[in-house]
Chain A
Amino acid sequence: MTAIIEADHLTIRFGQVTAVNDVSLTVEKGEIFGFLGPNGSGKTTLIKALCGLLAPSEGTGRILGMDIRKDAAEIRRHVGYMSQKFGLYEDLTVAENIAFYAGVYGLDAKRAAERTHEVQKLTGIAPYMKRRAGQLSGGWKQRLALACSIIHSPEVVFLDEPTAGIDPVARRALWDLLFQLSGQGVTFFVTTHYMDEAERCGRVGYIYLSKLIAIGTVAELQRLPEANPAGTTRVEIETANAAAMLDRVRGMEGVREATIFGRSIHALAETDRLGELRAELPQARIEAIEPSLEDVFVTLTYQIMEAAR
């Protein structure tokens, strides 16, 4: 396996503010790496640093073996980037947008024509080539943005919240495209707020308050000791009118966290007090479960918030 993206104790400060604090991670070739964290936790800053746009205050990073401090210009030729704003010129047509990015990435006429054909085939945008980008629906804008960001056949693509505000069908279509490209060896670094998207990723990192607090496959994260504190059991409580019962469950001694999942309650309870829980809710069906990815992140976040207090 070859490491495509490497961050080694990366720290980025803006004056007094530390936006990224001592982050280390590696992403392998062809991997889809999911990067999660609340707004303002440092996701976009890390991406900008990895693309060589921001000089790190401490630490190093490499993209395709190139140093992000020294080879920034070269890195950008091999990296694709798509932001949630899409970066499209709405008054230009689809074809003009694609041609512009082909030009900006320095493709000659022959290569540009080839690649335009290829991204058309991949994204299915061919019928809309003469339409103004501003007249496309959200899903098509997103596909056009992807087409533009991969026009130069980059080995790595950074996607910064690519599916924010897009309907589920378009989201699914985008992920299908990503899997297709990753099958061809393209490496993806995707930030998202959606847990279901995170669960599609090969590996996931979670950043909170500028620090990377968890990284691994979804299964690894679910088994993290911090997410399953000793002496506790995560249970699903199936009961009539779960929403009404939530406050009661939260108020019980021995329940550390509780939240609604559909028509049931997921709770993190102290194992030796499970009996009390069962006694309190005689009608409910209570079963031990694996934590979901969201459970893991919420538990980790609470722990940090409590430690900070």
Chain B
Amino acid sequence: MESISAISLRDVKKTFDGHDYVLKGINLEVPKGSLTAIIGFSGTGKSVVLKHILGLYQPTSGIINVLGTDIGRLSPDELTKFRQKFGVLFQSAALFDDMTVLENVSFPLLEHRRELRHSQIISIAEQRLVQVGLDKKHYNKLPSQISGGMQKRTGLARALALDPEILIYDEPTTGLDPILTEMVDNLVLDTHKSRKGLTSVMVSHDLAAAFRIANYVVMLDAGKVLLSGTAEDFFKSDIELVKRFVSKGMKHS
């Protein structure tokens, strides 16, 4: 793991209505090349942090630095271009329901690699689908015709299509059964290991999985970072809330 930060949030505050702060001064460093898990109770601002990193929300105050760029200073057009450095696997996979599996994975390539021939784009898309272990017989199916696990695989293949520098997983296992959860966790880990230099950020409720696959964990509470470090740091922590969260989380798992 390299020591330089891929993502850095400095005193980031966010309010939607002008008085209630969802984020109350987040300071967070995501090491480059790490697989970082952001954990915490519901409503602590995990998804809001993620949307700030992606530039979907602008902070009320504070600085967000991604790969050396202060994204708050980017114009909307620059931000749109900058987002090509990200790949995102959404909780619902967010596949385009009027496109087949193969078209979904080809879409980012068709948008941003216009210099490539159509056959090259299809070939890259097929490679990505092979990497996530999706069988060829499903390539021409619509998202509604495949299972939840296959949708996640397709979503991940699409996120990988442009060879992103940062891969973000927004609660990838929420709502899945234990078998699928394990499959997705392994997929996340394998993907991270197989791509050198890739920085992965995963928001998760699943504490056991976070400790198992992530090499850096950040816990949020009430819009602030409560603790960040390795799994060992969490097990050794004297913070009462961390102890409760860890004991309950591990018990549930």
Partners in one complex: no
